[in-house]
Amino acid sequence: MCGILAVLGCIENSQAKRSRIIELSRRLQHRGPDWSGLHCHENCYLAHQRLAIVDPTSGDQPLYNEDKTVVVTVNGEIYNHKELKKKLSSHRFRTGSDCEVIAHLYDEHGEDFIDMLDGMFSFVLLDTRDKSFIAARDAIGITSLYMGWGLDGSIWFASEMKALSDDCERFISFPPGHLYSSKQGGLRRWYNPPWFSEDIPSAPYNPLVLREAFEKAVVKRLMADVPFGVLLSGGLDSSLVAAVANRYLAEHEAARQWGSQLHTFSVGLEGSPDLKAAREVADYIGTRHHEFHFTVQEGIDALEEVIYHIETYDVTTIRASTPMFLMSRKIKSLGVKMVLSGEGADEIFGGYLYFHKAPNKEEFHQETCRKIKALHLYDCLRANKSTSAWGVEARVPFLDKEFINIAMSIDPEWKMIRTDIGRIEKWVLRNAFDDDQKPYLPKHILYRQKEQFSDGVGYSWIDGLKEHANKQVTDAMLMNASFIYPENTPTTKEAYLYRTIFEKLFPKNAARSTVPGGPSVACSTAKAVEWDASWSKNLDPSGRAALGVHEAAYEEAKVAKPINGAH
């Protein structure tokens, strides 16, 4: 991941202003430690902190069209850049960067080219010919982006809140799948897939189509000129990513970047469920595996730094971000700059344990749509910022646009959890990779029960956080929380502690408003309670709150039919 900062329409155009932009851009240097760039055109500034993944030698930013009248600063990866370049054969490219196509596509198509991009991205583009500009964020919000307004009438864009929060009177999280146009004066949604309206799809389930779409999504994300690996928790999602990537690299020697084996990484407390499962998967598929341990105290000591980087006070996100943050530092120390990760599958396929309680396919599907739309506030934010804190880029194959369209077109009846006929959560995905002839994973891994990431790294991690919060936050403090924090009032001591740290780091009203609100309920959603009122008895967002839906039924469900038995 790179870091971008754009300030457009300042009143002041001086050396002091330029120095201030450079100072603020340096707050994003952790995202892009390889190079810094700044373009100034009159009262507009585009700054960039580069993490070099593709074309490390010539791809420094900002990037330009042929005559440098179009300037663009980009955070992201454009996976179909080679195909797009072929369609832009009349244009002259200065670099081998995958992101340069954005400047030329704008020259060719104006503002209506965003949906042509296949990738994850946030960018700001300035057309110096008329001083117009556009800003856009990828379909799901895999990359982070904020938008702010200064008292002098300037408009700001930054990869992280910390680069604009001090200088903007108001700022927001830039909505995913949207474009801001200075010509049209506002935001509009460019991403309009069939599933977005939440109408109930009716396409039949074809396991081979689903499998091939996912394999394609993984392979395109192996585009890199630097060492890379896979984050492997041992759960279904990350294990499938690792298995598909490893199989492809074994067959395509030219795609390897770091020795003869794919490298995988896992993190946890000593003896945690994830470490054991990840080691088993790594041994089975044959990766070079790296296992990192942390202690509860090390995690607690990192909390303030974690909240500074991920810019949220959401309890579940902080719990899961801390081990990922610690692991990313270790990964960086090995010289790795890019990792594949398994975010998104639970939202697309209804993998969270409360989906067992979905009353019908209509509500099941609508809840998956809602979860995907909110990913940029939770799992995408965690994956992006926890890794970017140490100059590591995370790529997420499950959030590939084409794969989502295929997966979300399946009649949700197939996704419903039916233990009576052997269908557990995410059965359609498990079944698609249940190949007896050439197995991707062992059966018991393929059908391993869902763990929240923060649970899987070791159950005592959450218990340790709660114990620490109980020592830091008194009963009186929590009782008066609604007076101290009237907006998004914390309801537990742990939530109160995180909110206190966040407010110290980001004290403005606008900052707290970028975090989603509402009281914590099981699995962080009121839908669980709506489907089964008994869930309201456990306010902890940990996956352990849901164990009652499983166990005996789960064991029974492991007899799920293999792929050649699907219809």
Write out the catalytic residue numbers.
Answer: 2
Tell me if residue 436 falls in helix, strand or coil: coil
Block residue for tokens 């009143």: 11
Q: Which two tokens stand for residue 100?
A: 């340069």
β-bridge pairing 70-78 and 119-127: antiparallel
Block residue for tokens 């039949």: 204
For the chain, the residue count is 567
β-bridge pairing 35-41 and 44-50: antiparallel
For residue 6, the surrounding DSSP H or E stretch is: strand 3-8
342 assigned to a ligand binding site:
yes
C-alpha span between 494 and 454 (Å, rounded)? 14
70 assigned to a ligand binding site:
no
DSSP states along 245-268: HHHHHHH-GGG--SSSS-EEEEEE
341 assigned to a ligand binding site:
yes
C-alpha span between 485 and 467 (Å, rounded)? 22
Dihedrals phi, psi of 184, to nearest 5 degrees = -95, -10
Q: With contact defined as beta carbons under 8 Å apart, do 266 and 275 qualify?
A: yes
Burial class (CB in 10 A: 0-12, 13-18, 19+), 88: middle
Dihedrals phi, psi of 433, to nearest 5 degrees = -110, 15
| Lateral strand order in the sheet of 70-78 | 63-64, 70-78, 119-127, 132-137, 178-181, 186-189
Tell me if residue 32 falls in helix, strand or coil: coil
267 assigned to a ligand binding site:
yes
Q: Which two tokens stand for residue 391?
A: 């100059």
Block residue for tokens 């839908």: 527
C-alpha span between 491 and 479 (Å, rounded)? 9
For residue 17, the surrounding DSSP H or E stretch is: helix 15-25
- Long-range CB contact pairs, 79-82, < 8 A, 24+: 79/118, 79/119, 79/220, 79/221, 79/223, 80/117, 80/118, 80/119, 80/220, 81/119
Q: Which residue type occupies 532?
A: D
Q: Which residue type occupies 361?
A: K
C-alpha span between 298 and 496 (Å, rounded)? 20
98 assigned to a ligand binding site:
yes
Q: Can you say which residues are annotated as belonging to the binding site for L-glutamine?
A: 98
Q: Can you say which residues are annotated as belonging to the binding site for ATP?
A: 231, 267, 341-342
